[in-house]
A and B are shown apart, each in its own frame.
Chain A
């Protein structure tokens, strides 16, 4: 089935540790996105990528890094510089261009222990 796969579903991070969240899509979408969601809040954009080997910072990029080496994959690294990383992380993708629907994965829960 076509879709967006995020892994792991649940992840625990120790203080000072970097962790990487995986996102893979087989929809042949050009654009991919990472959002963060906190309880009672709207989705906030971390990073996005319109094409391979290119990505842009979103509204809350500090403490995060991404790469886009393949069209299908857009991993997000939460670095130790992110002081409040506990949240629900959502990966999404869309056909490149205006007015195109963004589709989401099932999300990953990250908790600092």
Chain B
């Protein structure tokens, strides 16, 4: 039981392509969002976050876009590399509550 990615939506891309992973969140009152990357058999790693007063935030090779009107979050990865292959989760937080996680998307990058 090493895999946590069974039966997940999967995005397959070629090395060097740009990847876009989407997430629909549920609570219009959520004010903070995080993207995590989880490699097989490991704990989730923080990638990037965004607060609800922002529409876009950029990191190194990654960009998060937030559309509050349709409750949609996306993660863009530029020049995708084989090392980016993993399951990606979005998470939302409402006030002092804990995080609520999406089920994740598996990204497969072919050389």
Chain A interface (Cβ within 8 Å of chain B)?
Answer: 4, 6, 33, 37-43, 45, 48, 58, 86, 88, 90, 97-99, 101-107, 109, 111
Contacts and interface: CB of A to CB of B under 8 A. Distances in A.
Interface residues on B, range: 20 to 34
B99 A98 contact: no
Interface stretch (B13-21, B39-47, B61-69, B75-83): B39-47
B43 A99 contact: no
7 contacts: A39-B5, A40-B5, A40-B8, A99-B31, A99-B93, A107-B41, A109-B1
Query: By DSSP majority rule, is chain B's interface helix, strand, loop, or mixed?
Result: loop
A69 B4 CA distance: 31
Given A99-B93, A104-B43, A40 B4 contact: yes
A63 B48 CA distance: 34
A46 to B, nearest CB: 11
B97 to A, nearest CB: 9
B56 interface: no
Query: By DSSP majority rule, is chain A's interface helix, strand, loop, or mixed?
Result: loop
Contacts of B36: 104
Contacts of A107: 41-43
A43 B91 CA distance: 10
A6 B32 CA distance: 27
B4 A37 contact: yes
A9 to B, nearest CB: 9
